[in-house]
């Protein structure tokens, strides 16, 4: 059983997509963020994105992945819906960390896909963990979500923690000539949905 996630603080966060509130949580010594927009009621089906940190995609606008465009899309959709949340998990590189992710990039430059590169470095293909989500949903009194994802593992993990995924909202953004092999690998080996 993993230790509980702890709420630390919150503040207003004006963004290019509108006003959000940023909440800081801590779990096993790692800080995670939640961005909320609008009022989240206990009976609401909340538009939600669970997004794992990707410095290269989210902050450096890398074209190797679709992470940055997915995050921007989620913020835009939540702002348009006038309600929702993004759970931003600090699990860089599918949970292997930034340095190992760059090592995996080097192996990808030599022809490996992201799945096999992680394995060659001695990591699981996807080392992320979603156990802390139950505490986040409980703190925010969210019991039902419309989940923006293509990843079936996120759906299963959230539902296993007692939160109902009422609907899955596919994310189809960020495709470019540099990430076609990456996107094919997500579908073929990580079994991501269309």
Residue 100's CB: how many other CB atoms inside 10 A?
A: 19
Question: Rounded to whole angstroms, how far apart are CA atoms 165 and 82?
Answer: 19
> Is 126 a catalytic site residue?
yes
- Inter-CA distances, 134 with 18, 163, 164, 177, 191, Å: 27, 8, 11, 37, 24
Nearest residue to 155 via CA among 117, 146, 106, 39? 146
| Residue in 49, 64, 94, 128 annotated catalytic | 128
Question: Rounded to whole angstroms, how far apart are CA atoms 46 and 77?
Answer: 12
> Is 128 a catalytic site residue?
yes
DSSP state of 38: S
| Residue in 58, 66, 113, 126 annotated catalytic | 126
**Contact indicator for 14, 51 with CB cutoff of 8 Å:** no
Question: Rounded to whole angstroms, how far apart are CA atoms 29 and 36?
Answer: 23
Active site residues: 126, 128
């Amino acid at each position: 059983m993993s230790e509980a996630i702890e709420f630390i603080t919150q503040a207003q966060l004006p963004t290019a997509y509108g006003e959000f509130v940023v909440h800081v949580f801590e779990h096993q010594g790692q800080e995670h963020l939640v961005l909320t927009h609008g009022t989240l009621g206990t009976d609401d089906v909340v538009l939600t994105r669970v997004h794992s940190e990707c410095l290269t995609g989210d902050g450096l606008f890398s074209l190797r992945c679709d992470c940055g465009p997915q995050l921007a899309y989620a913020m835009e959709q939540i702002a348009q819906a006038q309600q929702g949340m993004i759970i931003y998990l600090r699990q860089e590189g599918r949970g292997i960390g930034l340095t190992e992710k760059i090592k995996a990039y080097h192996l990808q430059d030599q022809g490996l896909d992201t799945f096999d590169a992680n394995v060659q470095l001695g990591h699981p293909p996807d080392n992320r963990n979603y156990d802390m989500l139950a505490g986040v949903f409980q703190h925010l009194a969210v019991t039902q979500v419309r989940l923006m994802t293509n990843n079936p593992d996120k759906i299963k993990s959230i539902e296993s923690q007692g939160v109902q995924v009422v609907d899955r909202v596919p994310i189809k953004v960020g495709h470019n000539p540099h990430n076609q092999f990456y996107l094919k690998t997500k579908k073929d080996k990580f079994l991501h949905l269309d």
